[in-house]
Amino acid sequence: MTEQSIVSQDMTLKRLFQDFYRVPDYQREYVWGESDPKGDGGDQVNQFLADIHTEYEGATQHFAPEYFIGTIVVCAGQDQVFELIDGQQRTTTSYLTLCAIRDALRELGGNLPDDLSSQIAASSTDWQGVTTHRFRLEVQYDDAGGVLAEYAQGNAAQTVRDGSRSIRNLGGAYDTIREFLTTTFGTDRAALLRFYGYLTNKVKVIRIETPTITKALKIFETINDRGAGLDAMDLLKNLLFMNAKGHEFAELKSVWKSLTDEIYAVGEKPLRFLRYYLLATFDLDNRLREDAIYDWFQKNPGLTGHTTEPLAFAKRLQAAAKAYAHFAKGKNAAGSPEPGIENTRLLGGQSIKQHFMLLLAGRHLPAPLFSRLAAEIEKIMFVWLITGTPGKDYERKLVDAAHRLRTVSQDNFDGFVDDVFAKERAELARSFFRSLKELRANDLRQFRLRYLIAKITQYVDLQAYGSSDSRDRLMDYTSGGNDIEHILADNADADAQQEFGDRAQDQEVIQSLGNLLLIEKSINRSISNTRYSEKIKGYGQSKFLLTRCQADTQAQLVGVADQITRTVQALECWPNWTVTDVEARQLFLTRLACRVWDVPVVEEAVPA
C-alpha cells in the first residue's frame, strides 16, 4: 500500500476475523451493552442479532441473502494489527457473538468448528520469524479491565460484571447475546451451527484501510458528520484527536476520559452538558440543538481554539464538566454544599437542568456571590414553574442572563440581580399571586408540592429560631420522615365531616393549598382522619412552628420583642376549621409565599 492509498474491501465476518484488531486507548469505550435504564445499549445488541436472524430465516437450501452491518475504518500498525478507528461497536458485538456461540456450543457438547476457534484467537508470525498468539480483537482503553480477553478465553462465568462502565457494558452485551441464543435456538445444536454458518459467511462489512491514523480519523469524521450512529460528543472527541499532536494523545485521552466520567458518574447526559457549556460560554441563543452542535464546532474553530489547541480546549471543558457534576449533586463549583442548588434540585426534579447554564457562567464569582446567585436561581425557577412559564421561554431568559453574567464582577453583581431576577419576579407577581391563591394539590407533581410546603415551613422556623444545621437543609423538611397533612382528610371520618360542615367531601376544598400543612409522620399517624378539634392537639406537638401555630399562636409567645415572638405575631391561626377558614389560610399562605420567594404582593389582581 502506498503512502496515499486508501483500500476499501467488501468482506464477510469470516474474512474480517482473519486479521487482528485493537481499539486504541483514546477511543470511546464500548456502549452497546449499556445497562443503565436510560441507555439503549441492550436494545442495540438485541436489534443487531434480531436483524441478522431475520435475514437468516429467509435462507433456503440453495440460497441465503447477505446482510450488511456497516463500515469500519482501520489503520495498519507495525505489528500486523489494525487500529480500529470507527466501527468498534459493531466489531466488538460481532466478536462477542462469536465467543457466545462458542460457549453455547461447548455446553451442548461435540466438537467446535475449526473456523470458529481461529476467528477468536490465532497465532501470527512477523517477518523476523517471531510467532505471537493473540486474540483477534483487543481493547486498550483503561476501564475495560481486560474483561474482553476473559470472554475470548471462554471464562464468561467467572468474569466480573461490576466495575467500570466498559466492564458493565461488555458483560451486559455478552449476557444479552447468550440470552438471545438460548431463547432462539434452545438446545438445538444443529440450528445454532447453521446460524453460526450464516453469521460468518453471509454477514458482511466494508473495511476501509488507511495509511495513517490522521487519515483514518478524517474518514471517520466524513462517515459520521451527520450523526449516523454517533453523537456530537463522540465526533468532537474525534475532532480533537484529529488536530492533536501525537505526543498529546495520551494526555488528551486522560482529560477526555476524566470529563466524560464526571458526567456519567452523576447520571447526566454528556450532550446536554456540552450544549449548556456552549450556551453559557459563547454568545449563542437557545435555538442551538444538540444535533447541530458538531456543525457549530466545525464552523467556529476560532472561538473555541479546538483545532489550534485541542488539549487546552479539552482541559477547559474538563473543568466545566467537574463543576457541572458538582451542580448535579447540589454543590458549588468547588464541591461544597450549596443550599440554593440543592433546593432547586428538590424543586425541579431530575429533568430540569437549564439553570446549570447560569451556574456554569457564574462559577468565576467569589463564594458568597455564587451562593447569592444560587439562591436567586432557586427563587426565580419556582416563580417560573408556579406561573406556568414555558420551558423554552425561561431557557431563553437563562441563556441571556448567562451571557451577561460572564462579565459580572463584585461591583456590579447587585445590579445584575436587580435587572435579571428581581425585575422578572416583579413582572410575574400578579400571575404568581393568582396561581398560589387558586392552587390545588393535584396541580403540582408530588415532589414539587412537598418542596412548596416544606419551604414555607422552613422559612417560618428560620425567621423564629435562626440558622442551624437541621433548619438550614430543606431536605430535612422534605424527607420521608414528614408528611403532607390534609387538615380535612380526604377520607375524613363521620365526626370530622360533621364538624367541618358543608363541602366536607368536596375535593376542591380538600386539595386546596390552604388545607395542607407539613407534619412529622409519627404525629400524622396518631391523629389519623379524625375531627379538627382533636387533630390540633397533635399539631401542637410538632417541631415545626407553622404547624404548632395552626390553631393557637398564644401558646408559642415567649417574650415581648424577641425574634420568636415577632415571628409568631406575624402568623395567623384557626381555632376552627370550615370552608371559610380553608380559603383564609390559602390567602395567608399565598402572602407568606410572596415573602419566601421575594415576590411583590399584588393582591388587587385577584378577584374578590
pLDDT higher than threshold 90 for residue 35:
no
- Containing H/E element for 517? strand 516-520
CA-to-CA distance for 310 and 247, rounded, in angstroms? Answer: 12
pLDDT higher than threshold 50 for residue 266:
yes
pLDDT of 142: 67
The SS3 call for residue 255 is helix
CB 544 within 8 A of CB 478: no
Cell numbers at residue 63, please?
440460497
CB 394 within 8 A of CB 354: yes
* pLDDT range class, residue 229, cuts 50, 70, 90: very low
pLDDT higher than threshold 80 for residue 231:
no
CA-to-CA distance for 381 and 390, rounded, in angstroms? Answer: 11
Domain boundaries in the chain? 7-224, 242-329, 336-427, 441-605
pLDDT higher than threshold 90 for residue 79:
no
pLDDT of 606: 44
The single residue listed with the C-alpha cell 463522540 is 234
CA-to-CA distance for 205 and 90, rounded, in angstroms? Answer: 10
pLDDT of 329: 95
The SS3 call for residue 504 is coil
pLDDT higher than threshold 80 for residue 33:
no
pLDDT of 125: 78
pLDDT higher than threshold 90 for residue 213:
no
* pLDDT range class, residue 228, cuts 50, 70, 90: very low
pLDDT higher than threshold 70 for residue 34:
no
CB 561 within 8 A of CB 389: no
- β-partners of residue 9 are 207
CA distances to 350, 454, 455 from 477, rounded to whole Å, are 19, 5, 8
What does the pLDDT look like over 430-468, one tens digit per residue? 999 999 999 999 999 999 999 999 999 999 999 999 999
Query: What is the average pLDDT score of the chain?
Result: 89
